[in-house]
A and B are shown apart, each in its own frame.
Chain A
């Protein structure tokens, strides 16, 4: 049903707004189409639509749940650009997911996900940024 509604948006000249995005993401995730939700979120961000912080939190939680550590980390970094305070919980959630998926170098205490610059675990935490 949501698919049909979304398909009609372009026909009706209605742009996808952040308020429409969130229930859409929830609906897609409900159908276990997690990758589709990730691609949609990525696409929306590429189109310079600023998702709501609720949607950011939802996507981070979703990615960590399905072990998409890299995507969770990228969304987290993107979330940082939004002028909203990110709860510490999400940093630890992503770090735990990264560690679980072998993205943490335990010797150097460094994250192994390329993010434009070397990001140490301490630097990742919002408290030290």
Chain B
């Protein structure tokens, strides 16, 4: 049985002897000229010589992409018209009903996850209460949520 032999990789540079010497700082385009005698087609970037009408026929039209715009978060289960309704009612000097007030506070709660509308909700509640319009438990729950700002609480200890 013959022994397996490991051959060291040969560092035979004989092939390079057959190639003409290449000057330093050689570019790829020059290398092609050195390595082949065949005629080389001009580089596609050198299209300046082409008449402009031919260029337009070559140009590939880019597909028009529709710009992606994030949609406004949907307040599902909320009355999205609550602000508009409240504004129209105020303009007509009509007082909202308890249910309308509930819808308004609930939408305010949806829109202010960080208690941004705290002062507005509080002012509306005070004003409506002075007029004898009382929200129901749904409205009060929303109002209590608006009046709590989680940013001021250190919630690091709370489980995720």
Chain B residues closer than 8 Å to A24, beta-carbon distance: 144, 148
A77 within 8 A of B: no
- Distance in Å: Cβ of A89 to nearest Cβ of chain B: 6
- Distance in Å: Cβ of A97 to nearest Cβ of chain B: 12
Point out the residue from A5, A15, A29 that lies within 8 Å of B125, measured CB to CB: A5
Contact assessment for A23 and B159 in the assembled complex, using a CB-CB cutoff below 8 Å: no
Chain A, interface size category, equals: 20 to 34
Q: Which residue of A lies closest to B149 (CB)?
A: A30
- Distance in Å: Cβ of B24 to nearest Cβ of chain A: 68
Contact assessment for B140 and A9 in the assembled complex, using a CB-CB cutoff below 8 Å: yes
B112 within 8 A of A: no
Binary CB contact string for chain A from 75 to 114 against chain B (1 if under 8 A, 0 otherwise) = 0000000000000010001000000000000000000000
Stretch at the interface among A40-48, A57-65, A121-129: A57-65
- Distance in Å: Cβ of B9 to nearest Cβ of chain A: 60
Contact assessment for B153 and A29 in the assembled complex, using a CB-CB cutoff below 8 Å: yes
**Whole-angstrom CA separation of A24 from B148 in the bound complex:** 8
Point out the residue from B138, B143, B153 that lies within 8 Å of A30, measured CB to CB: B153
**Whole-angstrom CA separation of A1 from B8 in the bound complex:** 85
With A1-B118, A12-B134 as known contacts, state yes or no: A20 contacts B141, CB within 8 Å: yes
Point out the residue from B134, B135, B137, B143 that lies within 8 Å of A15, measured CB to CB: B137
Q: Which residue of B lies closest to A20 (CB)?
A: B141
Binary CB contact string for chain B from 115 to 126 against chain A (1 if under 8 A, 0 otherwise) = 000100010010
Point out the residue from B137, B147, B150, B158 that lies within 8 Å of A5, measured CB to CB: B147
**Whole-angstrom CA separation of A58 from B153 in the bound complex:** 13
Chain A residues closer than 8 Å to B150, beta-carbon distance: 26, 30
Binary CB contact string for chain A from 23 to 37 against chain B (1 if under 8 A, 0 otherwise) = 110110110000000
**Whole-angstrom CA separation of A55 from B70 in the bound complex:** 34
B113 within 8 A of A: no
Q: Which residue of A lies closest to B146 (CB)?
A: A23
Chain B residues closer than 8 Å to A27, beta-carbon distance: 144, 147-148
Contact assessment for A2 and B147 in the assembled complex, using a CB-CB cutoff below 8 Å: yes
**Whole-angstrom CA separation of A61 from B159 in the bound complex:** 7
**Whole-angstrom CA separation of A89 from B159 in the bound complex:** 9
Chain A residues closer than 8 Å to B158, beta-carbon distance: 58, 61
**Whole-angstrom CA separation of A23 from B144 in the bound complex:** 6
Contacts A19-B137, A57-B159 known; 4 new A-B pairs at CB < 8 A: A2-B144, A8-B129, A14-B135, A20-B137
> Which residues of A are interface residues toward B (Cβ below 8 A)?
1-2, 5-6, 8-9, 12, 14-15, 17, 19-20, 23-24, 26-27, 29-30, 57-58, 61, 65, 89, 93
> Which residues of B are interface residues toward A (Cβ below 8 A)?
118, 122, 125, 129, 134-138, 140-141, 143-145, 147-150, 152-153, 157-159
